[in-house]
């Protein structure tokens, strides 16, 4: 068969061979061009994915990072995600409200194989990406409104730093019953911030609330500004706050470096004894804006704390079955959020 083919090509008695050769050249060229084109399309897709990942990564750098720092991070991430060529950060801007926008491009001269027949040794492949990052929670301020009940309890705010796997306490609110014998139960609540220095936790008291029961006559000796109230059981009581410092607003917690946040209520005499906002089995004991969290729904504290607004929240410590009206709860506080530019990867969306 091979000898027949060679004889056919070498034959001079006809003119088919030159015609065949001329016909094959453009066919091979077209096939070759399509192979290179397919390679370019694949290359473009890979570069786009790498650039998208890279531009998202630079939004996790601190707000004071220089453009050069972000450019280096962009290129390193682009290469780490198998991007060919060079990635360039065109802009990174942060608005007054904390929203951020970034634009980047990448280009690569992809070597060709078959297109070199036409003296095209490479084709330029280019991609572009842009992102917008909305402001998010960077600070939360907690202030106790009223805590009651016979059971001692502690609410703790836990935060997990970027890159860490273990959550650390950032604030505690502890309550102890004063033993007045009243049906509802009133006592003393202490709010403290927890900071870490040199590996040791430092606890600082920022608010103390003492609730006292008695008669109208005996309650008249309470501190100025105290409001005497009567509960559903007919008990007269008044709760007095002491802030540290005197002009303080409560527990001001910096959460800008936190990748995760959750609230935990420990009630040694309760059932269950441990309630967590991020646990779908116990999060329904938390009330946000007087609305009980739906059963089986974990709560993201980053979204549960509004920006620049007060949110009244409460916990049912376990003395009453849920669902139940918020009036049955025993642990009431107000939390206010401050939102700005943040390093969390959330709140970031690709816009190109």
Is 0.85 topped by the overall pTM? no
Give residue 154's pLDDT: 97
pLDDT digits (tens, 9 = 90+) for 106-157: 999 988 877 777 777 888 999 999 999 989 899 999 999 999 999 999 999 9
Q: Does residue 113 belong to any structural domain of this protein? A: yes
Which H, E and C letters describe 114-172, residue by residue?
A: HHHHHCCCEEEEEEEEEEEECCEEEEEEEEEEEEECCCCEEEEEEEEECCCCCCEEEEE
Q: What does the mean pLDDT of the chain come to? A: 87
pLDDT > 90? residue 163:
no
* Domain end marker among 114, 133, 152: 133
In a domain, 3, yes or no: no
Q: Is 23 helix (H, G, I), strand (E, B) or coil?
A: helix
Q: How far is C-alpha 97 from the chain's CA centre? A: 18
Predicted local distance difference test score (pLDDT) of residue 227: 80
* Residue 99 is assigned to a structural domain of this protein: yes
- Within this chain, do residues 100 and 149 fall inside the same structural domain, yes or no? no
Please indicate, yes or no, whether residues 296 and 185 belong to a single structural domain of this protein.
Answer: yes
> Which domain-ending residue is among 112, 133, 154?
133
Within-domain flag for 349: no
Distance of alpha carbon 75 from the chain centroid: 24
Same domain, 115 and 146: no
Residue 163 domain-assigned (yes or no): yes
Q: Residue range 238-266: average pLDDT? A: 93
Q: Are residues 151 and 64 in the same domain?
A: no
Which residue reads 């330029």 in tokens?
124
Q: Tokens for 154?
A: 């502690």
Question: What is the domain count for the chain?
Answer: 2
Task: Say if residue 88 is in the same domain as residue 147.
Answer: no
Q: What CA–CA distance (Å, rounded) separates 60 from 346?
A: 9
d(CA 30, CA 23): 11
143 and 117 assigned to the same domain: no
Smallest CA-to-CA distance from 91 within 58, 125, 62, 135 is with 58
Per-residue pLDDT reduced to its tens digit, 201-216? 899 999 999 998 877 6
Single out the residue in 86, 101, 133 at which a domain terminates: 133
Read off φ and ψ for residue 62, nearest 5 degrees.
-60, 155
Residue 78 near residue 46, CB atoms below 8 Å: no
Residue with tokens 């060529």: 85
Q: What is the DSSP string of 185-208?
A: -BEEEEEEEEEEETTEEEEEEEEE
> Is there a domain that residue 254 lies in?
yes
In this structure, are residues 208 and 188 in contact, taking their beta carbons and an 8 Å threshold? yes
Q: Is 97 in the same domain as 149?
A: no
Same domain, 183 and 83: no
pLDDT of 17 higher than 70: no
114 falls within a domain: yes
Q: How confident is the model at residue 20 (pLDDT cuts 50, 70, 90)?
A: very low
Residue 85, Cβ neighbours under 10 Å: how many? 20
CB atoms within 10 A of CB 306: 15
| 199 occurs within a structural domain | yes
SS3 content of the chain, % helix, strand, coil (to 5): 25, 40, 35
Question: Which tokens go with 29?
Answer: 């060229």
Q: Phi and psi for 198 in degrees, rounded to 5?
A: 65, 30
Which residue's structure tokens are 């935060």? 159
pLDDT of residue 40: 85
Same domain, 104 and 141: no
Domain match, 266 and 287 both: yes
Structure tokens that stand for 71 in this block = 């450019």
- Do 188 and 214 reside in the same domain of the chain? yes
Sign of CA dihedral 283, 303, 153, 331: negative
pLDDT in tens, 86-98: 999 999 999 998 8
Same domain as 165, residue 109: no
**Greatest alpha-carbon span in the chain:** 131
Q: How many other CB atoms are there within 10 angstroms of residue 210's CB atom?
A: 18
Question: Domain span at residue 129?
Answer: 15-133
């Amino acid at each position: 068969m091979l000898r027949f083919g060679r004889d056919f090509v070498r034959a001079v008695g006809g003119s088919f061979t030159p015609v065949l050769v001329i016909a094959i050249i453009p066919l091979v060229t077209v096939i070759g061009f399509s192979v290179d084109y397919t390679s370019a399309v694949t290359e473009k897709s890979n570069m786009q994915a790498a650039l998208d990942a890279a531009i998202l990564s630079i939004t996790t750098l601190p707000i004071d990072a220089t453009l050069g720092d972000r450019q280096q991070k962009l290129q390193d991430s682009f290469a780490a995600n198998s991007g060919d060529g060079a990635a360039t950060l065109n802009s990174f801007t942060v608005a007054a409200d904390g929203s951020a926008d970034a634009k980047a491009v990448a280009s690569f001269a992809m070597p060709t194989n078959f297109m070199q027949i036409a003296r095209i040794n490479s084709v330029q492949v280019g991609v572009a990406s842009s992102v917008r990052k909305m402001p998010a929670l960077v600070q939360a301020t907690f202030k106790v409104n009223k805590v009651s009940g016979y059971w001692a309890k502690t609410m703790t705010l836990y935060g997990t730093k970027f890159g860490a796997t273990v959550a650390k306490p950032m604030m505690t609110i502890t309550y102890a019953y004063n033993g007045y014998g009243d049906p509802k139960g009133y006592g003393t609540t202490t709010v403290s911030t927890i900071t870490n220095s040199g590996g040791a936790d430092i606890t600082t008291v920022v608010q103390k609330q003492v609730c006292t029961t008695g008669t109208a006559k005996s309650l008249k000796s309470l501190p100025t500004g105290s409001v005497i109230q009567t509960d559903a059981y007919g008990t007269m009581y008044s709760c007095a706050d002491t802030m540290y410092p005197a002009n303080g607003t409560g527990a001001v917690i910096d959460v800008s470096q936190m990748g995760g946040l959750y609230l935990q209520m420990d009630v040694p005499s309760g059932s269950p004894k441990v309630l967590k906002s991020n646990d779908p089995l116990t999060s329904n004991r938390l009330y946000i804006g007087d609305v009980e969290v739906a059963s089986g729904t974990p709560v993201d504290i980053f979204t549960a704390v509004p920006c620049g607004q007060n949110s009244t929240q409460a916990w049912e410590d376990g003395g009453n079955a849920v669902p139940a009206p918020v009036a049955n709860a025993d642990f009431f506080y107000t939390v206010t959020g401050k939102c700005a530019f943040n390093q969390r990867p959330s709140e970031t969306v690709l816009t190109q």
